[in-house]
């Protein structure tokens, strides 16, 4: 069973019809972050992270509960496990572990309850907003 300490890479993508696609990659093992914005390709970057930043991310990962997220969050259904979104957005998260195994979670217009904490962690690491315009 993999744990938060075994995570080496986090990939997160959010896209919307006629809004763009944002992709964030956090390589904890290499201390790098990569950013891709389909609307502003000239703002794409690859940047290194300080050891303190990596430590902060690994600490915040547990708070997001990402490893307990469902594999799929279907179209909005009111429940205590999810937060509905009213714009047509699709999101996907892929977590890679040191042993090469992968955890995936995705949804459309329906986000995990801890999405804001996860998004804040991404924004802190990359220093750019992880939100569609």
Query: Would you state the pLDDT for residue 41?
Result: 74
- For the segment 66-91, the average pLDDT, to the nearest whole number, is 73
The two beta strands, 102-108 and 72-73, are parallel
Interacting residues of 18 by C-beta distance below 8 A, sequence separation 6+: none
Query: Would you state the pLDDT for residue 57?
Result: 92
Binned at pLDDT 50, 70 and 90, residue 101 comes out as: very high
- The residue that leads in pLDDT, 7 or 19, is 7
Distance between CA atoms of residues 104 and 121, nearest Å: 18
Query: Would you state the pLDDT for residue 81?
Result: 65
pTM (2 d.p.): 0.84
What's domain 4-126's superfamily in CATH? Mago nashi (3.30.1560.10)
């Amino acid at each position: 069973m993999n744990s938060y300490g075994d995570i080496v890479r986090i990939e997160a993508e959010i896209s919307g019809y006629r809004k763009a696609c944002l992709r964030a990659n956090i390589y904890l093992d290499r201390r790098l972050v990569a950013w891709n914005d389909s609307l502003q390709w000239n703002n794409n970057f690859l940047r290194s992270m300080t050891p303190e930043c990596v430590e902060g991310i690994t600490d915040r990962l547990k708070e997001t509960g990402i490893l307990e997220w469902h594999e799929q969050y279907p179209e909005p259904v009111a429940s205590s496990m999810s937060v509905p979104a009213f714009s047509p957005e699709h999101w996907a998260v892929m977590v890679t572990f040191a042993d090469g195994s992968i955890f995936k979670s995705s949804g459309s217009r329906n986000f995990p309850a801890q999405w804001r904490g996860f998004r804040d962690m991404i924004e802190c690491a990359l220093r750019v907003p992880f939100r569609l315009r």
